[in-house]
Every structure is written in C-alpha cells, then in structure tokens.
Structure 1
Amino acid sequence: MMDLRRTMLFIPGNNPGMLQNGGVFDADAVILDLEDAVSPQEKDAARLLVAHALKYVDYAGSERVVRINPLDTFGLEDIRAIVPCGPDALLVPKVQCAADIEAAARAVALAERPGQKPVNLIALIETPRGLAEAYAIATADRRVVALALGAEDYTAAIGAQRTPEGSEILTARTLLVNAAAAAGIQAIDTPYTDANDEAGLERDTAFAKHLGFRGKLTINPRQIDIIHRVFNPSAKEIDWARRVVAAIRQAEAEGSGVASLDGKMVDAPIVNRAERILQLARLLGLREEEGQ
C-alpha cells in the first residue's frame, strides 16, 4: 500500500495542547518534535510528553513520527524512551553519512519491544556532506523509507541566502530527489516557512511536485489543505493515467509489448507513473471529476 506523506506537520514536543489536538488537522503525518522546538532544559519533560502522546492520543490515522535530537546530543536518550511507545517512524536530523543511519538503526533495534511493529527511519538531510552522501544514507538500512530536505540549515552551511523563490536550493532538491528515487524511497521537500504567504506556498509546492517530491514538511496546519490540493492528482492527470493503462492493456491483449498514446510510445516508466497516479487516486477516493 502506498504511504501518504503529502504533509508532515511539525508539532512541538513541549506543547501539551498541540500534542493533544494533533489529530484534528488531517495531516498525512504528524512530527512530534523533540529537537528544534524544544530548549535543552526542556528535553526531559518533552520526551515524557511525547511518550505519553504516543500511548494515549488518537492521531486519527496520521502517521506518527518523532523527530529526535542528533545522536551526538540527546538522540540516543530519545530513542530509548520513545521507540518502546510505538511510533511509526523517527525523523533523524542532521544525517551526514550512512554510519549515522546505521547507528540509529542499531539503537532502535535494541529499544524495540518483542513483537513490536518495526520503527521506520526518515533521514533529514541538512548539510552539504549529507547531500553529497544522500544515496548511501538512503540505502544504509532497510528501515529508511524517505529522505527529507532541511533547507534552512543547508543554505546557512553553504553561505546562501534563503529566498521565497528557492533558486538557491534547486541543486539540493534535485540531488535529493535523485538519491531517493535511486534507492526506491520517497523524497520529502523542505518546509515553506512563511505561513501567511498562501500563493507562495502553492507555487513552491507545485514546483516541488514537478521535481519529483512526494510530500512536504509542514510548519502550520493552515498549510495542509493547499499542499494536499497540489499533490493530489488532478482530473487531467487521472484521465491521462487511465488512458495509458488502457493502451498498454490493449496492446498486451493483441500480443504486442508496444503501445502508443497520442502518437507517443508508452514504455515501462510511463506505465509506472500512470499506475502510481491511479493508486494515489484510489487511496484518496478521488473520481476523475473531483480533480482540480
């Protein structure tokens, strides 16, 4: 089954109210944040709050992800406390190399309870080295299901100014998408940090989708509907995908391995893309006329 991660909403791990209400926002995933949102003196208290939330809060079907701290700070403590509470995944920040993921995976395996559903890992790439080693990171362990881009730290590291247009992160975006695709996992885009700029968010999300991202880190619940609308397949996309699948099936029924549509050859990558669109449409309960 396709894992939906169109929106991954950050929720501060030290905010009991937001932790309690995180399931009402309809995000595909909630990220209970123990890192940037929490000051060093609040780490222990936040860890307890997040552990309690995992055990007792209904997140209404949203994937439950916890962003831990880097392994060289409080990350191992986070893993030991959080993993037995059954999160779906951990977002591992500032991943620099495959060894970072391997160390996280070992710690997770030690912390899991017998019979517990395996906890996945999402690697947050925030540094030039992490980007350079993205494919090795993506393939470091079978628990890794996605790469996510953290553009704020990345641009600071390369000395670039962050802009709404995002030209300074184009190379980072394309390299991360390529590494994720080569590894057969998802690529998740960096947040759009101006929560009041809805037009900018829509443009940025559409561009991310165009590049091959499957979802976006999200900092404000008000961003969710816009991001979902962009990532949902449109009526035009669904119609195209249905026609592609019909063309290849007709060709197969006629004993041919070659199909064409609108004068263009339909090959395996095209069919795979069409099938992904239809799978997403079915998962979302979309009919052709409901697309935007």
Structure 2
Amino acid sequence: MADVRVGISGWVYPAWRGGFYPDGLVHRKELAYAADQLTSIEINGSFYALQRPSSYAKWRDETPDGFVFAVKGGRYITHVRRLVDVETALANFFASGVLALSDKLGPILWQLPPNLQFDAERLTTFVALLPRTTTEAGVLAQRRDDKLSDDRVLTVAAVERPLRHAIEVRHPSFAVPAATALAREHGIALVVADTAGRYPRIEEPTADFVYVRLHGDIELYASGYTDAALDNWAAKIRGWTAAGLDVFAYFDNDAKGYAPFDAMALLHRLGDPGHSTPFSGVVGE
C-alpha cells in the first residue's frame, strides 16, 4: 500500500503557543505534541544552518515509532552556490547528523530560489551528486571539509535505506516538459507547491512519490484552507496513492497558525493514515 504522510514545516512557532500548543505545555515538549497529532514534520532549521548529530538524535527520540521527518537541504547549496560546485557542501550537509534520524529519515527537500532558471546541465550535474541510499550518504559525508569539527560529524548510517529527493522550483522556466522529463529520468520529485499563484505549480509525478507543500492558496504563508480546498487536496492525494505513489504533504501556512489545524483536518479526510497515538506528554513542568 502507498504511504501517506501529512504534517507541517517546522514546529517552533511562539505564536502557536496557547493555540495549537496548549497553555502550560513546556517548550521542550512541543515536538512530541506535534508529532502525536501529525504523521510527519519537515525539519527546516537545516535550511538556515548545519545542525548537529545530537539534535537529529534528540528529534528522533522525541517522536513516536513510525514517525517520519523530511529534511530541508541547506540554502548555502541552493541559494548561495546555486547548485554549482556543491560536492563539499553536500558532504558537510550529510555529515552534520542527518543520518542520526535512522529509520525516521524521509525525503530530502531542495528548495530553489525564485530567480534560478531551469538549466538542464546545471540540474543534471546536481542531481547526479545526490546520494540515493543512506550508505551512499555516509560515503559522501566522509568527504566533508574542516568546517565541521569532529564532534559535530556523523558519517555512518545505522540502517541501510533508500534516500528520496524532492526539488521545489520557483522560476516559471521549470514549467516545461524538459524539466519534468529530466526529473523523471533521475527519480527526483518536483514538488507540488501551492503558493497563492506566485510560483509554478507542477502536478505531474516524476518519481515513486509525490511531495506537496501547501503555503496558502489565497495569501502566501498566511491564509487557511477552506473545507472545499481540503476536500480537493484529499481527492488529489487519493488519486496519487491509487496510482501506487507515496505522498508527503506539508502545510507551511504558519503565519497565522493555520498550518497544524489544516494538516489535522486533511489527515481526518484521509482517514488518519499512519496516525500515532494521542499525546501522552506532561503539560507543565
């Protein structure tokens, strides 16, 4: 059966306290609370800076069995280097502790900047560098440079698993058959991005899974999804899973706190696939 995961992009949002997060819930319990309401979460701190193996291990241990994290690739790779000459940067990223997630490691997300146009040669060179198994990721991680000290490095995978990659494009030049054909050839998912019409929305599957990011359909990062809109996304997801495709869907409309509630509402429409047990943590100290 196809796997369906629904969650949120990040979980540390002070404005959610007293809303999604109950009053009195200690901050260190927020990940555990969110993970018990949802079935996956994107780690987005990894986009801004290299994390530590101890952090990934902590996040792994704070979430229920069967939970899955997606990990957002570093902006140094996508926005600064713009996918060019990034082998060492990729080695540093995978050496920074991603493998500590073990069997909770889901897809790796690579979000491209809005001004990066489709260039077949550039993209082909980049995706050829991406490890396709955790073992390959460990081998690549061993080619890190001295940017990471030895106590901040993990280059051994505890379990041998396939690695999936998704690319979120934001320049209209990617909305062409050549881009989808290239992604399909390499088994890379082009993200289905709902961005209130600002960026391209490519819904053609190009891998054995579909990666959806829901940033808001009316106001980017801010608007909530109506019942009708959620019904529509649930129908799309059922269509993809009927075709045998796994689906990972993340709500990023966090500005006004809609994301977790929309994610739970979508899970409810899908019959709560893979949902964990109710939160059993302690509220308050």
Which range, TM-score by smaller chain? 0.5 to 0.7
CA-CA distance at 1:90 after TM superposition: 3.8
What does residue 212 of structure 2 align with? 189
Judge conservation of contact 1:68–1:79 (CA < 8 Å) in 2: no
TM-score, normalised with respect to structure 2: 0.55
Judge conservation of contact 1:19–1:50 (CA < 8 Å) in 2: no
What does residue 127 of structure 2 align with? 101
CA-CA distance at 1:215 after TM superposition: 4.8
State the secondary structure of the residue aligned to 1:64: strand
1:75–1:105 Cα change, 3 Å: same
Judge conservation of contact 1:124–1:149 (CA < 8 Å) in 2: no
CA-CA distance at 1:11 after TM superposition: 1.8
Alignment of 1:203-242 (within 5 A): 203-206=231-234, 208-209=236-237, 212=240, 214-219=247-252, 220-232=259-271
What does residue 137 of structure 1 align with? 183
Judge conservation of contact 1:189–1:215 (CA < 8 Å) in 2: yes
Gaps of 5+ in 1: 159-168, 234-279, 285-292
What does residue 238 of structure 1 align with? none
Alpha-carbon distance between aligned partners in 1 of 2:60 and 2:264, rounded to the nearest angstrom: 27
Q: Which has the larger radius of gyration?
A: 1
Alpha-carbon distance between aligned partners in 1 of 2:31 and 2:93, rounded to the nearest angstrom: 17
Alpha-carbon distance between aligned partners in 1 of 2:271 and 2:240, rounded to the nearest angstrom: 13
**For residues 53-81 of structure 1, what are the alpha-carbon distances to aligned partners after superposition, in whole Å with 9 as ceiling and x for unaligned?**
34532334211221122424465533221
Judge conservation of contact 1:94–1:126 (CA < 8 Å) in 2: yes
State the secondary structure of the residue aligned to 1:66: strand
What does residue 32 of structure 1 align with? 43
What does residue 282 of structure 2 align with? none
TM-score, normalised with respect to structure 1: 0.54
Judge conservation of contact 2:191–2:211 (CA < 8 Å) in 1: yes
Alpha-carbon distance between aligned partners in 1 of 2:234 and 2:199, rounded to the nearest angstrom: 26
1:221–1:113 Cα change, 3 Å: same
**For residues 28-76 of structure 1, what are the alpha-carbon distances to aligned partners after superposition, in whole Å with 9 as ceiling and x for unaligned?**
322111256x5xxxx25x5567424345323342112211224244655
Alignment of 1:142-291 (within 5 A): 146-152=189-195, 155-156=197-198, 169=201, 172-173=202-203, 176-177=204-205, 179-180=206-207, 185-193=208-216, 194=222, 196-206=224-234, 208-209=236-237, 212=240, 214-219=247-252, 220-232=259-271
1:147–1:231 Cα change, 3 Å: farther
Alpha-carbon distance between aligned partners in 2 of 1:14 and 1:53, rounded to the nearest angstrom: 19
1:123–1:114 Cα change, 3 Å: closer
Judge conservation of contact 2:194–2:213 (CA < 8 Å) in 1: yes
What does residue 11 of structure 1 align with? 10
* Greater fraction of residues in helix: 1
What does residue 113 of structure 1 align with? 156
Structure 1 counterpart of 2:62, from 41, 53, 57: 57
Alpha-carbon distance between aligned partners in 1 of 2:238 and 2:66, rounded to the nearest angstrom: 27
1:77–1:225 Cα change, 3 Å: same
Identity %: 8
**Is residue 2:72 matched to residue 1:67?**
yes
* Structure 1 stretch displaced more, 118-127 or 196-205: 196-205
Judge conservation of contact 1:13–1:47 (CA < 8 Å) in 2: no
Bigger RCO (CA 8 Å, 6+ sep): 2
Cα RMSD (Å): 3.8
What does residue 77 of structure 1 align with? 92
